[in-house]
């Protein structure tokens, strides 16, 4: 905190104590980069991570678009949910934190609130909470009411709420099919209809092929209840933190794109990977390993991670302490400005690299670094004062049904491993009803491959489900390349696995 002045959370600040990538001959490395990118008739892919809120991280896209590279669009995280919100509300903008503070009840739907938004939770922890999630997360255990919903049951629950609001009828059999008790359902609906409520939506409810449709159905509940008759002062998601600004860095007419969640890397002659670790974070990671061996890989990052080991050329990136930047947020409106407080000649910032490449290729159109940053230090528009909602009707989403020795697959985060940069938890967690012993080796098999993991019993996990935490180095091997219908998002929980003891 002394170093970052409170602008980075403790886990990220501690990561700055780790040894970062450095290059004592950076000039030669950059020259090699230019020579490689200037080779004629090469297909280039630009692949950038999306968990970083520093605005300057997006600036290299300007160069790669200029040279005709293919830009990976979408994400492995939250794009399906955003697509579902935008198709109704036409924008994905979060309310003011003050609105949350004035709530009587907070409904947490598919969000690991105490982990992913701990700083916000600490501001409202005295509120009444209702949590909807397949896992009894910490916030679920702290909640007054917990609805342990069946994986992918969210569309059905939203439909049942809409039916009750409109007809006052309860379909107990349908609720039972998604593991929802009538009493808990009525407590949820009563809060929605009669209390001052805020809703925290999380990515858990949209980790499916129909993730956008699920989110739109959920959003229709709030629209029917009048949440959007004025401005949105009730519903949060991973919001567009750039909405209020003149987002000059992302105002770019991208020429060539591909879906981020399903890329054949070896279709390209050169792959430039920036601030991403697809060997661990992307789906079907065994396929990625094979494909990266068959192309020329350039990695720009701060850490010697698993993907760096596949790199033919490594570009050390400057950390937050070593560069200028503005960090926006997706849950609140705070703006964090970063100035250089640690000098280095052995790494390069995103802007410095982009400027170097513009000069090397004789390109024009790049603004001064401070000019770019100035656009994110002052707002040019307010949040919408009124939301016009467009209603779409979708068929029921396909449910996940189990056969013998099959299980649902769930992913989550803990405060010790928010992403692949943290120490990983290599266990899988199961409900005791599956009758495995702690530390027993079990196999998890999907349609694409099979892995083995040590098991731990955990009563908080949904029955007949296997839970693995973010950063686990094996789990993405079994996740197939299922892309969401809208938003080009990875569908990390939309498949069934076979689970057996290893004999």
Same-domain pairing of 31 and 89: no
Q: Is residue 422 part of a domain?
A: yes
Separation CA 285–CA 296 (nearest Å): 18
Same-domain pairing of 224 and 111: yes
Backbone angles phi, psi at 230, to 5 degrees: -105, -145
> pLDDT digit string (tens) for 308-329?
999 999 999 999 999 999 999 8
Same-domain pairing of 127 and 203: yes
Residue 142's CATH number:
3.40.228.10
> pLDDT digit string (tens) for 259-310?
999 999 999 999 999 999 999 999 999 999 999 999 999 999 999 999 999 9
> pLDDT digit string (tens) for 432-490?
999 999 999 999 999 999 999 999 999 999 999 999 998 899 999 999 999 999 999 99
Separation CA 348–CA 371 (nearest Å): 19
Pairing, β 441-445 against β 450-457: antiparallel
Same-domain pairing of 417 and 489: yes
- Residue 136: give the domain boundaries: 79-236
Q: Which two tokens stand for residue 300?
A: 């720009």
SS (H, E, C) 140-193: HHHCCEEECCCCCCHHHHHHHHHHHHHHCCCCHHHHHHCCCCHHHHHHHHHHHH
Domain count, the chain: 3
Q: Is residue 114 part of a domain?
A: yes
412, HSE (Cβ side, Cα atoms, 13 Å): 27
Same-domain pairing of 155 and 218: yes
Same-domain pairing of 305 and 428: no
Give the per-residue pLDDT at 79.
94
- Residue appearing with tokens 């938003």: 487
Residue 439's CATH number:
2.40.40.20
Same-domain pairing of 144 and 262: no
Cβ atoms of residues 373 and 136 within 8 Å: no
Average pLDDT for residues 340-351, to the nearest whole number? 96
Same-domain pairing of 419 and 368: no
Q: Enter the pTM of the model.
A: 0.93
Same-domain pairing of 285 and 368: yes
Q: Is residue 394 part of a domain?
A: no
Confidence of residue 1 (pLDDT cuts 50, 70, 90): very low
Q: Which two tokens stand for residue 230?
A: 């004025």
Q: Is residue 399 part of a domain?
A: no
Burial state string for 388-422 with b = 16 or more CB within 10 A and e = fewer than 16: ebeeeebeebeebeeeeeebbbbbbbbeebbbbbb
Separation CA 287–CA 262 (nearest Å): 11
Same-domain pairing of 228 and 120: yes
Same-domain pairing of 421 and 366: no
- Residue appearing with tokens 């009758």: 435
Same-domain pairing of 410 and 321: no
Residue 287's CATH number:
3.40.50.740
User: What's the Rg (C-alpha) of the chain?
Assistant: 23
Average pLDDT for residues 90-106, to the nearest whole number? 94
Other CB atoms within 10 Å distance of the CB of residue 345: 10
């Amino acid at each position: 905190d002394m170093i970052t002045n409170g602008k980075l959370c403790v886990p990220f600040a501690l990561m700055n104590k780790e040894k970062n990538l450095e290059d004592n001959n950076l000039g030669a490395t950059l020259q090699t980069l230019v020579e490689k990118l200037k080779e004629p008739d090469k297909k280039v892919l630009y692949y950038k991570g999306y968990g970083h809120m520093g605005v300057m991280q997006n600036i290299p896209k300007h160069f790669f678009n200029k040279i005709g590279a293919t830009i990976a669009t979408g994400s492995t995280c939250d794009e399906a949910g955003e697509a579902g919100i935008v198709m109704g509300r036409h924008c994905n903008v979060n309310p003011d934190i003050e609105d949350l503070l004035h709530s009587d009840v907070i409904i947490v739907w598919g969000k690991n609130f105490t982990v992913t938004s701990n700083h916000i939770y600490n501001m409202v922890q005295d509120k009444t909470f209702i949590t909807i999630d397949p896992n009894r997360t910490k916030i679920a255990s702290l909640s007054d009411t917990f609805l342990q919903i069946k994986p992918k049951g969210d569309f059905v629950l939203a439909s049942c709420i809409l039916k009750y609001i409109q007809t006052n009828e309860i379909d107990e059999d349908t609720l039972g099919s998604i593991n929802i008790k009538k009493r808990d359902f009525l407590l949820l609906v009563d809060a929605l209809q009669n209390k001052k409520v805020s809703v925290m939506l999380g990515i858990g409810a949209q980790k499916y092929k129909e993730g956008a449709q699920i989110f739109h159905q959920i959003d229709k509940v709030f629209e029917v209840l009048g949440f959007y008759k004025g401005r949105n002062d009730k519903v949060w998601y991973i919001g567009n933190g750039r909405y209020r600004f003149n987002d000059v860095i992302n105002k770019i007419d991208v020429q060539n794109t591909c879906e981020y969640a399903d890329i054949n890397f070896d279709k390209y002659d050169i792959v430039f990977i920036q601030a991403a670790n697809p060997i661990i974070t992307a789906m079907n990671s065994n396929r990625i390993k094979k494909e990266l061996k068959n192309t020329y890989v350039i990695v720009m990052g701060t850490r010697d991670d698993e993907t760096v080991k596949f790199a033919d050329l490594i570009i050390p990136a400057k950390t937050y302490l070593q560069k200028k930047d503005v960090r926006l947020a997706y849950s609140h409106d705070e703006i964090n400005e970063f100035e250089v407080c640690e000098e280095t000649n052995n790494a390069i910032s995103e802007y410095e690299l982009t400027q170097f490449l513009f000069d090397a290729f004789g390109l024009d159109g790049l603004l001064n670094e401070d000019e770019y940053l100035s656009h994110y230090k002052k707002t040019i528009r307010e949040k919408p004062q009124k939301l016009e909602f467009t209603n779409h009707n979708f068929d029921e989403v396909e449910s996940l049904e189990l056969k013998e020795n099959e299980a649902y697959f769930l992913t989550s985060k803990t405060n010790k491993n928010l992403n692949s940069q943290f120490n990983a938890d290599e266990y899988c967690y199961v409900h005791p009803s599956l009758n495995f012993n702690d530390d027993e080796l079990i196999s998890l098999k999907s349609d694409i491959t099979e892995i083995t993991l040590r098991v731990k019993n955990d009563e908080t996990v949904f029955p007949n489900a296997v839970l693995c935490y973010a950063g686990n180095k094996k789990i993405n091997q079994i996740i197939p390349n299922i892309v969401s219908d809208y938003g080009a998002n990875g569908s990390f929980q939309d498949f069934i696995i076979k689970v057996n003891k290893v004999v």
